[in-house]
Structure 1
Amino acid sequence: MGEFDLVIGVVLVGIFLNTYLYGLVTYQFIVYYNTKFNDRLWIKGVVGVLFFLDTIHSGVAVYAAYNMCVTNYMNPASLAFVSWEIPFTACATSLAAFVTQGFLGHRVLVLTKSIPLVSLIAVLSFLGLFFGFYAGIYSGMLDAVAKFGPLGPFVTCWLSFQTSADLVITASLAIALSRARTGFRRTDTIINRIIRGAVQTGLFVSVFALGDLFSFMLHRNTNLYAMFAYPIGRIYTNTLLDTLNARTSLKALSNATEDVSVSAFRMQPTSTAISSVHVAKDVISDFSDTQVADAKFVRDDSSV
């Protein structure tokens, strides 16, 4: 292993992965706006804010690579100091997590109607945001990597609260959707697909957050944590955009059968009544017309 593999090499790997994920974010962003979902303005605003934040952060990551490998080429002493890109990454990542968790927390509220559960998610998410900004700003104030010792508890709080919010959201969505199973094979297939997607994305971002935490705590003399830290924000945005864009494929799948109707994520009141279908009281009330499909599934009572 080379002298700088765990100092510069791992940072470059993280930036390469971040750039790849930003490409996926850009693709999903284009798909979202070209599909013309009838989403509320605040939903489109969330998507726009996250894409803007991802664009800025990805540009900062590329600049960090340039600064490290070109500007400070043959100047290894610069690696001992904290450049502004590191505090910015912590703040940008925690903000992306907070916005995404807020959106998914709203979905949990609509599906479960549980104020205590959503309050728990909100508290965990806010604490993750607070400690993320605190850790980022504090790291810039410390200036030298050798002084990162006192930063440990704040990074632990940041990533622990952030990961806890992700896991609570994932578990809540999985349980709520599993209870919506109707007994119809194709209906349950759609529900299982949504559950699998929620679990996969929740675990994926949790793995990166925990990798960031353990790398920072156990390998202080390396930059291994950066390999996990840079891509986390893109994973959150991909999660949200994939959730929104998946409604098209779910709608197509639901149309393939006559015994299932998908009550969509409605961003505005629907103008189309679905005959012979009893819509459960806990169907999502914030989602739009029958063009979108991704939330609560109801069984056709007249067919029983």
Structure 2
Amino acid sequence: MASPAPAAAPAAPVFIDYHLDNTLGAYCVVLTAVLYGVTTVQMYMYFQDWKTDPRAMRLVMALLWILDTFHQIMVTHGLYVYAVTDYGNPQTLLIAVWSVLGITTLSGIIELIVRSIFCFRLWKLVNNNVFLVLPMFLLSLLEFAGGITFTAKGSKIHGEFAHFNSFSWVVYVSLASGVIADILIATLQSYMLWRRRTGIKRTDSIVRLLMLYSVNTGLLTSLCAIACFATFATMNDNFVYIAFYHLLPKLLLNSLLATLNARQHLRNVEDQVSLPMQASRARSARQPFASPTTSSNDKVNPLEAGPDVTLRAATDWQALAIRVETHQDTKFDPEM
């Protein structure tokens, strides 16, 4: 009788050489969480300090915070799926989960709303000139359309990162539109503020501060978008460009909140005026004071009055009437 065949030896485990430094390590959920915390604090300050803002503006800001909250949830969900749900399966890093694809549309919505607010403020600054503001708004719409297109095309290929190159033009057009829109908004706003210089030192200092806020708003988001553009063009086989893309809407929203909350600081930028006050015990012969305990019609003879009335007349009115005159310097720009 033939002896049974020996059991087959277990197959040796297959090790796949992959690196997590530029994939999960570059997913950037920590930085987005930090910026979300900054957004929440700034949003709280806004609703506490600016209750006089129009109701529509406050509702839009509340909507932006809700959208940013969903944005942070989707960023966290993507990392959780890759690092926890599919732990030990590196093949999942080749597929974009639904939150990674859908976040492009959500980011486009947030950026469109924020840039629309900037365009509205700029529209008021240029005396309701639609043609000056329209290019920035159209570029914002183009970036929003790019986010929707990227989500739709990514869903058709089932989120395979390897095929993202087939519609890379969508990413380039979308990011370039956002960069150009931010630069145009910052440039035009700075130019209009510069033209409104009055020659008065205090007013010009406020204008320069507003220009600084405008430049910082466009510079920070533009640099982040350019970094996302460059990393997608050179390293689209990892998650580095995704990290920059996740930061874009949060940086833009924080820039808007910073400019809104800075209004109180700008209102306080003024020279302190001190009025020296000195009490006087002497009465003026031309402008006699009336005692608070006696009317002007009551004629009191200090010789006939008792010591209490004489003491009260000498001590109750020890302050002079002060007339504060304010002067406002005005200078008009003949070009405006």
Among 218, 231, 235, which residue is 2:247 paired with? 231
Q: Match for 2:193: what amino acid?
A: L
- Spell out, residue by residue over 1:98-149, the C-alpha distance to the aligned partner (whole angstroms, 9 max, x if none): 1011000011111113221111111111111111211122222222111111
Aligned to 2:120: 106
Superposed counterparts of 1:22-61, under 5 Å: 22-61=36-75
Q: Match for 2:100: what amino acid?
A: I
Instruction: Tell which structure's C-alpha radius of gyration is larger.
Output: 2
Aligned to 1:127: 142
Cα gap change, 1:197 to 1:36, in 2 (>3 Å): closer
Superposed counterparts of 1:11-160, under 5 Å: 11=27, 14-113=28-127, 114-143=129-158, 144-160=160-176
Q: Match for 1:115: what amino acid?
A: V
Unmatched segments (≥5 aa) in structure 1:
259-274, 278-298
Query: Is 2:202 the partner of 1:186?
Result: yes
Aligned to 2:177: 161
Cα distance in 1 for partners of 2:179, 2:273 equals: 38
Q: What secondary structure, in the 3-state scheme, does the structure 2 residue paired with 1:217 have?
A: helix
Q: Match for 2:245: what amino acid?
A: A
Q: Match for 1:118: what amino acid?
A: V
Query: Is 2:330 the partner of 1:300?
Result: yes
**1:59 offset after TM fit, Å?**
1.4
Aligned to 2:229: 213
Cα distance in 2 for partners of 1:49, 1:256 equals: 39
- Spell out, residue by residue over 1:22-56, the C-alpha distance to the aligned partner (whole angstroms, 9 max, x if none): 01100001001111331112211221111000011
Cα gap change, 1:68 to 1:245, in 2 (>3 Å): same
Aligned 8 A contact 2:199 2:331 in 1: no
Aligned 8 A contact 2:119 2:185 in 1: yes
Cα distance in 1 for partners of 2:156, 2:199 equals: 58
Q: What secondary structure, in the 3-state scheme, does the structure 2 residue paired with 1:148 have?
A: helix
Q: Match for 2:118: what amino acid?
A: L
- Spell out, residue by residue over 1:80-109, the C-alpha distance to the aligned partner (whole angstroms, 9 max, x if none): 111111222211111111101100001111
Cα gap change, 1:6 to 1:257, in 2 (>3 Å): farther
Aligned identity (percent) is 25
Q: Flag as ranges the 4+ runs of structure 1 deviating above 2 A.
A: 254-258, 299-302
- Spell out, residue by residue over 1:236-270, the C-alpha distance to the aligned partner (whole angstroms, 9 max, x if none): 11111111111111111146479xxxxxxxxxxxx
Aligned 8 A contact 2:32 2:246 in 1: yes
Instruction: Between the two structures, name the one with larger relative contact order (CA 8 Å, sep ≥ 6).
Output: 1
Q: What secondary structure, in the 3-state scheme, does the structure 1 residue paired with 2:269 have?
A: helix
More helix by share: 1
Cα gap change, 1:153 to 1:192, in 2 (>3 Å): same
Aligned 8 A contact 2:35 2:251 in 1: yes
> TM-score scaled by structure 2?
0.74
Q: What secondary structure, in the 3-state scheme, does the structure 1 residue paired with 2:193 have?
A: helix
Cα distance in 1 for partners of 2:272, 2:163 equals: 60
Q: Match for 2:234: what amino acid?
A: L
Cα distance in 1 for partners of 2:50, 2:130 equals: 32
Cα distance in 1 for partners of 2:327, 2:104 equals: 51
Among 13, 24, 39, which residue is 1:8 paired with? 24
Aligned to 1:252: 268
Aligned 8 A contact 1:186 1:257 in 2: no
Cα distance in 2 for partners of 1:257, 1:186 equals: 13
Q: Aligned pair count?
A: 262
